[in-house]
Structure formats: C-alpha cells, structure tokens
Structure 1
Amino acid sequence: MESILAAGRLDHGRITIVPKPCSIAEIVETCSARQESIRRSHRFLLELDRIPQTIYGDRPALDQVFGNLFSNAVKYAPESPNVHVTGWQEGESVCITVRDEGIGIDADDLPKMFERYFRARSSTGIAGTGIGLNLVKQIVELHGGTIQVASSRGNGTTVTLRIPIGAETSDEMRVATG
C-alpha cells in the first residue's frame, strides 16, 4: 500500500528528496532487522564496514528503498534463507548490493524490471503490484544515483545501488517531475 501511495505522489511531483547527513549503514541495519522480524526464516548477512560513516541522503526515502529491496529478496527466495548485503565506497559514491539466492529472473525480463506495473514471469503466483522497483529506481535517481539488476532464472538476483556520498548543497531539495 505504501508503494502505491508513494507512486501516486511521484506521478504528481509530490515526492521531495531532502538530502541531509545520515548513516546509510544504520538505515540498512534497521531495514534488515525489520525484515528479519517479519520473516524469521531469513537472515541478512551484512558487510558494511567499507562504507562511509555519513552520506547526504533522505533517510525516509532510503528506508523505503531498502525496505522494498529486502522484502523482495525474502519474497522471491522462500527456500533460500540468506540475503547478502555488501557495501563499499567507490570514488565519490557508496555502492550497496543486495543478493538473494532465490528464483531469479529470466534474461528477457531484466530490461523491464524497473518499469511500473511490470512483473517478471518468474513471479507468477507471488503477490505483488509491480510498483516497488519502479519507485526504488526513481528514489535512487532523485538522489543522483543509479540502480542495476543482475539475475538468471534459478540463480538468484543481485541489485546494485550507487548513491553519491555528498550533495552539491546539503539543503538542496530534489522534486520528482512525474
């Protein structure tokens, strides 16, 4: 429901990203703990010691990004309990991968994964709206970052985020132009 409401706000240019100093490690840890409490069958294996202490980001929006990615990792890997989250600094960006060992995605579906309402063929029979990854991509791009997905059917999925560490001006607001 939250994704649907946020997508509607994006459509009307009402999502505003206000970058402020925040700990991306803390956001990832909070989101993984929340997901583990919901689905006790899964473990999040975090490697975050190579990321910067502070970045400029919109904490609630980044919480939504990681909440969605972690929820997907659990949902599409019901028989594989480990979700690997690895972070590092690359130049002026923080990079974070979220890797599951689940059902994976057909190669033909990969280019469409961030389109609104698109659902991969491998997701048949699994509840979802097709809004989450589109929303995640838009939030990451509003932060000046990029997102990529790599996967193959039956071999899990890896999502990689690259988000700039700093901001041109720390109080700059970025508004979606839906």
Structure 2
Amino acid sequence: SHQINGEQPAMPDAAAKQALATLGARYKNKSNVMYALQVEPHDVSWSQLRPVYEDMVDAIRSAAAPSSPIVMVSGTSWGRNISGAIADPVRRPNIVYKSHQYNSRAEFQRYFLDAHDAGLPVFIGEFGEAYGSSITMTMDDVNELLRVARERNIGWAAWIFDYKGPPVLLSDRNFTPTQPYGETIRQEMSTTPALPR
C-alpha cells in the first residue's frame, strides 16, 4: 500500500490486503514464510487498526490454508507503540507485535516493554541511531535496546543494511560498518547466542 509518491499511508488499504492474500496463496506450502502488515501506521488509533489487521490476517490465512503463518502487526505512532494490544489484542493465533524504536530509552517501557511484560509476543522490527535526522535515538539508547532485548529474549532487526539512509549500518559498498552504530550491531550479532527453540 505504498503510494506512488513514496509517502506511507496511515493504515493498510484494500490493495495491501489483496497483495498479501496473493502472497499467501503463492507461499501456502512454505512453513518458513511469515507476513507483516503495514510498516508504520500513523495518525490512527489502535481501535481503528485492530479490525483492519484481523481482516487482513483472515485474507492471508484463507489464501494460505491449511497453514496458519505467523503475521507481524505494527503498532501506532509510526509503528512504535504496541501498547494498545495489551487490552485489545488482534484476535487471531500466531500474531507477533512489531515495534519500530527510533526514540529514547525512556519510551521503551510504554511503547513495547509493557506489551512484552503482559505476555504478548514482541519483535523490534526496526531501530537505529540518529544521523542528523528527526530520529531521537542515540547510541546510548541503541545499546540499552540491545541489552534489554538480550535480557528478555526479544528478537530485533536493525535499520538499515545499506550505506544510504539514515540510519545506516554500512559506510560503503564494501560492507564496512558505520562507526559506532554499524560496528555495535555487528558485534552484537556475532556475540549474542541464538534464542532457544
């Protein structure tokens, strides 16, 4: 549902639902495929998103039947805040709540840790250090996020494995890590043990 001019839509639309259903049909026999709904919803409430998400999950699962793939759903506020799911979760199985963290560690608890503490499956779908952009996350925040994720067994994905961004993990086409952000992520990936199966 990414518009032609590159702007993020506020919430998923019918075209996104159809595209994901098409993918569900294509990969219906692949147990290692999961789906993500709407990258960064914004200017909408959780109560508006949840029923749309349920409709999209139903479309994917109908197309992917008999499998029931994992579906990741983002929170509000550009995907950062998944706290709405604590009291009003997506009423479907195999849902993971995905949060994008580009903010200070002072906001981690309310944006995603409360949901984790409430027993919801949580994944940090994006995060990254500010590079002169509107992102407020510092390297201290990045390090704290990595520590919290490690201690609580929360999976994560750093943004972005590229040298164009920001924030970027690479400084050039030769895969040289940026300093200190890219190098910190490289170190974390090389020293963190795999999660238990």
TM-score (norm 1): 0.24
Higher RCO structure (Cα 8 Å, ≥6 apart): 1
Higher relative strand content? 1
TM-score (norm 2): 0.23
Higher relative helix content? 2
